[in-house]
Amino acid sequence: MKDITKILVPFDVSTSTNNAIEYAINFARDDKNIEILLIHVNESGDNSLQKSITETIGNIKKAYPLFRGTINWTLKTGDLIDNILETQKQEQMHLVIMGTKGADEETEITNTSRLVLKADCPVIAIPENSKEFAVEKIALVLGKNEIDDASVLEILLDIARRFHSEVHVLTICNENESYGYSEVDEKNEKVLEYYLEKFYSHHTFQENTDIEKGIFDYINDKGIDLLAILPRNHATKNKPSEGRLTKLLTLHTEIPLLTID
C-alpha cells in the first residue's frame, strides 16, 4: 500500500477553496514527504492569478510554520473537472481535496458533485462551513451489497493510521430485510476487519426510511469528523448505481466527505 504523499487541491479565490487548502495543510501536518499541488483552471487562459497564488502560498507557509512538505501550483485552461482528473492521472496524485459550497436542491449540480462521480480516485469534499480540522472519528457508510473492490479501503486505513482515528461503519436499513446476518454481511465484516485493522471500531445497523437523514443523524449523535462512502457508480462486481446518494451527501454534508474510488 502506498501512503498518501501527493495531494491535488483545485484553487480559486473563494472561501471554500481556502478551506480546502487549510484542510490539506492540516492533513499533511509535519510530514516532509507530502506534496500539495494547487491547480487553477479558467476558460480564457487568463493567468492574472499567478501573483495571487504565489502570495497565497507564501501566506500559508507563514501561517503554518510546522508544515514540512512542499507546495507547487499549475494553471490550466478549459473544463475544470476534466483538467483536475487529467492532472491527477498525469501527476499520479493520491488524493484530491476540493472545497464545496453545497446546494439545497437535489437537482442542482456543483463542480464538486461532478468531480466525485467522475473521479476514479479518492476525493475529500470540504464544506464551506466545516468546523476546525479533526479526524478522530470516521464514519464509513456501507450498503447491503458486497464491497466491490476491497483494496480501495487502503486509503481509509492510511488516514486512520495517520490520525489514530476510530472507524465506525454505518448501514442504514430502509427496507424490511434482515441486516447483519447474511453471507454478504459476513464477507464484508471480514474485509473490514482485515483492511481497517485495529482502527475498525464497530458496525452499526440503523433503521430509517430516509437514508440521508439516517446518516446525518448518526454523524451528529456520534460527533463524527469525517464521513466516507464507497461510490457505486463505478461498480464492477455489482450493478452500478447512478450515484444519487453520493451526490446528495456531497451537496448537503456539513463535515468533510471522503469518496473512496
In the predicted model, what is the mean pLDDT of residues 66-74?
90
- Per-residue pLDDT band for 178 (boundaries 50, 70, 90) equals low
Question: Does residue 162 fall inside a structural domain?
Answer: yes
Number of structural domains in the chain: 2
Question: Does residue 132 fall inside a structural domain?
Answer: no
pLDDT score for 140: 97
pTM as predicted: 0.92
Question: Does residue 1 fall inside a structural domain?
Answer: no
Domain match, 123 and 181 both = no
What torsion, rounded to 10 degrees, do the Cα atoms 221, 222, 225, 228 define?
-90
What torsion, rounded to 10 degrees, do the Cα atoms 150, 212, 216, 7 define?
50
pLDDT score for 58: 83
Domain match, 82 and 191 both = no
Least confident piece of the model among 24-38, 56-70, 74-88, 230-244 = 230-244
Residue where one domain finishes, among candidates 73, 99, 127? 127
In angstroms, the CA 261 to CA 61 distance is 31
Tell me what percent of the residues of the chain surpass a pLDDT of 90: 58
More confident residue, 18 or 49: 18
Closest listed residue to residue 35, CA positions, set 117, 118, 93 = 93
Question: Does residue 182 fall inside a structural domain?
Answer: yes
Residue 22 burial (10 A CB sphere; 0-12, 13-18, 19+) = buried
Inform me whether the pLDDT recorded for 222 exceeds 70: yes
Mind listing the pLDDT tens digit for each residue in 22-56?
999 999 988 999 999 999 887 665 666 677 778 87
Closest listed residue to residue 187, CA positions, set 112, 237, 129, 125 = 237
